[in-house]
Amino acid sequence: MWRHIASNALTFFIVALFLIGGLVAWGAKQYSAEGPLAQAICVRVASGENMRGVRDDLVAQGAVSSGVIFGMGADYSDKSGQLKAGSFLVPERASMEQIVDIVTRGGASTCGTEIVYRVGVSRNTVQVRELDPATARFVEVVSFVPGVDEEPAEYATVAAEADTRFSVLAAEGTTSWQIVTALNSNPLLGDDLATIPDEGTLAPDSYSFKPGDSVASVVERMATAQATNLAEAWSQRADGLPYKTPEEALVMASIIEKETSLPEERGKVASVFVNRLEQGIKLQTDPAVIYGVTKGQGPLGRGLRQSELRSLTNPYNTYVIDALPPGPICNPGQASIEAALNPEATPFIFFVAKTAVPADGHLFSDNLAEHNENVTKYRAAVAAAEAAGTAQPADETGAN
């Protein structure tokens, strides 16, 4: 009888092992299988939160098919205790295994709320925005002009949250003075920078930072990026350009940056100035003259005076000098640097704005008669805009 009982027990034990093994295999397959999410979501992990809380949140949002399997998988992979605080983007159809990796691998948050300090050519703004997981696009929550608008309550609330991300975005065409002045006034950055970097040496782009980072650390990253941009573009430059050094090309790039904001025009604008240099024609570019007047410390806010266009004391007065100005007039973006070093091949030596709206682009010509006709069209467009009350500040109309 005991033999019979022992045999039955062994059989039961073997069957149980098979059942457990099958259950484990099924669970492992579910853990690594495609998940039920129909669209991406943002999962927030608070500081000090445990995996159970995250699991419950994921179940509530329909991101995992089984909280039990999710928890067991996290435990088995020894990741339950490796949660990282932050907001993390979980893509559609992500498996439980992928989700565990996302919330434990560390690094910067990949979704949630971000505060962007924008350094612009004419003004600075602060924007609070939030990533919409469904579209992978940021949606503005609130924005304001520091020093002008009252600081919104939403800004203070978001800035105090542990998982908020911060970045500085310097626009193309901003000057080094504008960038450093804005960074020094940022309440979240420490150790103001006392010196202004050379004009043109900072790459306009977006740079993330953490509260308490020094201004110098952000500026150093900008300078490194610009040096890389210039070196790469110089190594791939076209033959026969009228620049002896990368620094001269940077001067040209800064002029191109200030003359047009349209990507499709950069190559043509570059060709105009290259053609002028090669033919010994003065560049006659207003933005350079303006830089000599303002020293890069903000927009001029008015049109140039005839006395300023005739000035012999302004080294940036391209209506007087017959070469490139002595240095860059802003910090150009990568596209303008590339245009300066690979301009289009055109016969153009003149251009003027099409309308009173700078974003409408320019009219190009290769002879003075046609250029004068284009100037007449431009002045008529400005007069019509002024009569309609839609005129914008005087455009820097370029070579003329």
Indicate the number of domains in the chain.
Answer: 3
List the single range of 116-130, 327-341, 377-391 with lowest mean pLDDT: 377-391
Most confident of 6-10, 40-44, 61-65, 378-382: 378-382
Inform me whether the pLDDT recorded for 239 exceeds 60.
yes
Residue 190: DSSP 8-state? B
Task: Single out the residue in 189, 206, 228 at which a domain terminates.
Answer: 228
Same-domain check for residues 123 and 167: yes
Structure tokens at 109: 């948050």
CATH number where 78 lies: 3.30.1490.480
Residue 264: inside a domain: yes
Residue 100: DSSP 8-state? H
Structure tokens at 19: 């059942």
Same-domain check for residues 291 and 377: yes
CB atoms within 10 A of CB 169: 15
Task: Single out the residue in 174, 209, 228 at which a domain terminates.
Answer: 228
Please give the single-letter amino acid code of residue 30: Q
Q: Which domain holds residue 381?
A: 231-388
Same-domain check for residues 246 and 384: yes
Residue in 119, 182, 124 with CA at minimum distance from that of residue 149: 124
- Overall average pLDDT of the 347-359 stretch: 86
- Give residue-wise pLDDT tens across range 278-312: 999 999 999 999 999 999 998 998 889 999 999 99
Q: What angle do CA 124, 128, 133 make, to 5 degrees?
A: 135
CB atoms within 10 A of CB 346: 16
Average pLDDT over the chain reads 87
Rounded to whole angstroms, the Cα distance separating 323 from 316 reads 10
Instruction: Give the helix ranges, DSSP H, for the chain.
Output: 2-32, 51-60, 67-76, 96-104, 153-159, 176-184, 215-235, 246-259, 266-279, 286-294, 306-310, 334-341, 368-388
- Give residue-wise pLDDT tens across range 76-93: 788 888 878 778 878 888
Structure tokens at 193: 């920078």
